[in-house]
């Protein structure tokens, strides 16, 4: 997940440098796998990233990251208590 988010750093977005269509398609497959493994509701991402939707995509990615992070943290605490 970190690797995906790093592709959407502000310095890249300001230069219009984000994943091309092929790389984005592979990334979407990985995201679907991550969301299903973590029982997160699937998000419909755009098929192509553009100037108009790149910030929204980044926000969605951040939301997914936070959910996965908090779930892992909670599972870690449960294991520690056992």
Domains of the chain: which residue ranges?
2-81
**How much is the CA Rg of the chain, to the nearest whole Å?**
14
pLDDT of residue 57: 97
Stretches where the chain sits below pLDDT 70 are: none
Instruction: Tell me which residue of 26, 75, 80, 73 sits closest to 34, measured CA to CA.
Output: 26
Burial classification of residue 51, based on how many CB atoms lie within 10 Å of its CB (0-12 exposed, 13-18 middle, 19 or more buried) = exposed
pLDDT of residue 82: 85
pLDDT of residue 12: 95
Burial classification of residue 42, based on how many CB atoms lie within 10 Å of its CB (0-12 exposed, 13-18 middle, 19 or more buried) = exposed
């Amino acid at each position: 997940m970190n690797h995906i988010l790093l592709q959407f750093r502000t310095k890249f977005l300001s230069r219009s440098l984000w994943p091309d269509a092929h790389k984005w398609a592979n990334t979407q497959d990985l995201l679907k796998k991550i969301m299903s493994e973590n029982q997160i509701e699937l998000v419909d991402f755009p098929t192509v990233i553009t100037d108009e939707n790149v910030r929204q995509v980044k926000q969605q990615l951040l939301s997914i990251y936070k959910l996965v992070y908090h779930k892992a943290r909670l599972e870690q605490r449960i294991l520690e208590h056992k």
